[in-house]
């Protein structure tokens, strides 16, 4: 890492799979480069199909517990994430600048937008509700229950990665 690169996070070069930080299994390394000055921010050993399958299986297992958690517990996790956005705001802005070559104003906007959608998502556990709807069948009704979708996968876009990724992750 270069002197201009924040070094406050561990494992930025690793995958988090099944509770463990590790290299991907592909054997192929990719360098994450600052597009502004070509400094190498991190080198990553990329995932392979087995890594993706393992990550999915672990997420599917964990998702059952998450779906069964009380709304308060789910909201608290997201509220804690908002607190981290606030506490580490400057670091996150700096990483957005380094990783995507953003000017400070764009990076500030991106971090703010990602934070705000996380704050909004913290209210979702209390806003989940179903409904009873009319049916064309006499003496019948249609009941709709909202349930967690399950595991989602997100491929981070290059141009607004923190916000566009978090918009899918936090709301899920």
Q: What does the alpha-carbon distance between residue 82 and residue 118 come to, in Å, rounded to a whole number?
A: 6
Share of the chain above pLDDT 70, in %: 95
Q: What is the pLDDT of residues 126-150, one digit of tens each?
A: 887 788 999 999 999 999 887 777 8
Q: What does pTM read for this prediction? A: 0.82
Higher confidence at residue 157 or residue 32? 32
Q: What does the alpha-carbon distance between residue 17 and residue 48 come to, in Å, rounded to a whole number?
A: 12
How high is the mean pLDDT of the chain? 90
Q: How confident is the model over 70-97, as a mean pLDDT?
A: 95
Q: What does the alpha-carbon distance between residue 30 and residue 106 come to, in Å, rounded to a whole number?
A: 26
Q: What is the pLDDT of residues 12-47, one digit of tens each?
A: 789 999 999 999 999 999 999 999 899 998 899 999
Q: Between the CA of residue 39 and those of 28, 55, 68, 158, 169, what are the distances in Å?
A: 20, 30, 44, 17, 29
Q: What does the alpha-carbon distance between residue 113 and residue 167 come to, in Å, rounded to a whole number?
A: 9
Hey, what's the torsion of the CAs at 140, 142, 145, 149, to 10 degrees?
130
Asked if 126 and 75 touch (Cβ cutoff 8 Å), the reply is yes
Q: How confident is the model over 82-107, as a mean pLDDT?
A: 94
Q: Between the CA of residue 156 and those of 4, 136, 159, 162, what are the distances in Å?
A: 24, 43, 9, 8
Q: Which two tokens stand for residue 50?
A: 């087995």
Higher confidence at residue 153 or residue 108? 108
CA-atom Rg of the chain in angstroms: 20
Domains of the chain: 1-68 (no CATH), 69-172 (3.40.605.10)
Asked if 109 and 162 touch (Cβ cutoff 8 Å), the reply is no
């Amino acid at each position: 890492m270069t002197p201009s690169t924040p070094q406050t996070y561990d494992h930025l070069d690793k995958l988090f799979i099944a509770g463990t930080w590790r290299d991907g299994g592909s054997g192929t390394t990719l360098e994450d480069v600052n597009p502004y000055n070509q400094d190498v921010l991190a080198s990553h050993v990329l995932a392979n199909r087995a890594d993706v399958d393992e990550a999915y299986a672990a997420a599917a297992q964990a998702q059952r517990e998450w779906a069964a958690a009380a709304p308060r517990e789910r909201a608290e996790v997201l509220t804690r994430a908002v607190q981290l956005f606030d506490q580490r705001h400057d670091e996150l802005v700096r990483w957005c600048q380094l990783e995507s070559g953003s000017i400070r104003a764009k990076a500030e906007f991106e971090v703010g937008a990602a934070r705000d959608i996380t704050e909004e998502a913290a209210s979702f556990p209390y806003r989940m509700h179903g409904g009873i709807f009319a049916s064309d069948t006499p003496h019948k009704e249609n009941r709709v229950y909202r349930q967690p979708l399950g595991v989602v996968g997100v491929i981070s876009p290059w141009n607004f990665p923190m916000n566009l990724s978090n918009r899918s992750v936090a709301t899920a």
